[in-house]
Amino acid sequence: MLGICLCEVFGCSSVSRTPTYSRYFHNHPLMASRQAQKRLNKEYRAIATNPPPFIEAKPNDQDILEWHYIITGPPGTPFEDGQYHGILRFPGDYPFKPPSISMVTPNGRFTCNTRLCLSMSDYHPDTWNPAWSVATILTGLLSFMTSDEATTGSIVTSDSVKRRFARESKQWNSTEDSRFIKHFPEVARKNREEIAAKQKADAEAAALAAEKAAKMAAGGGASGGEKPFVPPDFSTLDSEDRARLLVEENGGGSRVLSLICIMAAATVAVVVHVFKS
């Protein structure tokens, strides 16, 4: 498990440059102990200053015991580029008891909005270590998510299903998940801009492909400005003139040679037929 040394992160020189999150300290349910408030405020400063890879997390403005997180799917996994929103709910006597863990975004790994049975969740208070932090919890969740281990709250799906959910996750978060939009408004805005840009690029690519296909169809498959091949009318020419005209007009290309061979074969067939008669 990864941990963060808060003494190293928040030395005297860094505290003065760290944003103040006093609203979380004062605005909290009565059930939260003072120790839980202090601990969670300190952890918020830590994770805001030095977030673990692929992880973002913050408390609810109205309830410091409720945290919202985003896990970004790591490269090389079926979750690559996916964006997964979830919730941690801490007990009032945290850090002496663990939080509940759930995931909101459809993901193909966990049942949505269901408490997950993990060693660092409220399913196993006996294995909980008070030294663990929000960063430790979410790093462990990410590790478990990318494994194949089963637990209460996990589901079994194919990698293709997980990849489909990953592709759809930003769209879903930014349109279907009101809590995501509320707690991560800037991320939701960037998602919408990214989706709109991709849709525009896809539409332009489709239009260009359709235009190219139409030109190819109109030109009989010709490309690059080349005129489509139109064979001359041979009905008024003798065999010698036909061959000469084909060579002069078409430069002896493969199509010309094919036509000459066909004409020669036809001539031979006529001669043979005459002699047999």
Could you report the per-residue pLDDT of 251-273, keeping only the tens digit for each? 555 554 555 555 565 555 544 55
80 exposed, middle or buried (CB, 10 Å; 0-12, 13-18, 19+)? middle
* Active-site annotation holder among 7, 112, 117, 261: 117
Domains of the chain with CATH codes: 34-197 (3.10.110.10)
The residue-averaged pLDDT of 83-88 equals 99
CA dihedral 236, 238, 243, 244 (to 10 degrees): -80
Judge if the upstream peptide bond of residue 95 is cis by omega within 30 degrees of 0.
Answer: yes
| pLDDT tens by residue, 30-67 | 488 999 999 999 999 999 999 999 999 999 999 999 99
Both structure tokens of 215: 């030109």
The residue-averaged pLDDT of 69-83 equals 98
Lowest mean pLDDT segment, chosen from 107-111, 143-147, 262-266: 262-266
What is residue 101's predicted lDDT score, i.e. its pLDDT? Answer: 99
Q: Assess contact for 97 and 91: CB atoms under 8 A.
A: yes
The residue-averaged pLDDT of 161-182 equals 98
Q: Is 117 a catalytic residue?
A: yes
CA 127 to mean position of chain CA atoms: 35
The residue-averaged pLDDT of 125-144 equals 97
What is residue 161's predicted lDDT score, i.e. its pLDDT? Answer: 98
Share of the chain above pLDDT 70, in %: 68
Lowest mean pLDDT segment, chosen from 3-17, 60-74, 155-169, 213-227: 3-17
Per-residue pLDDT for 237 more than 70? no
What is residue 32's predicted lDDT score, i.e. its pLDDT? Answer: 86
The residue-averaged pLDDT of 5-23 equals 35
Lowest mean pLDDT segment, chosen from 3-12, 16-25, 130-139, 202-211: 3-12
What is residue 276's predicted lDDT score, i.e. its pLDDT? Answer: 53
Lowest mean pLDDT segment, chosen from 1-5, 24-28, 137-141, 180-184: 1-5
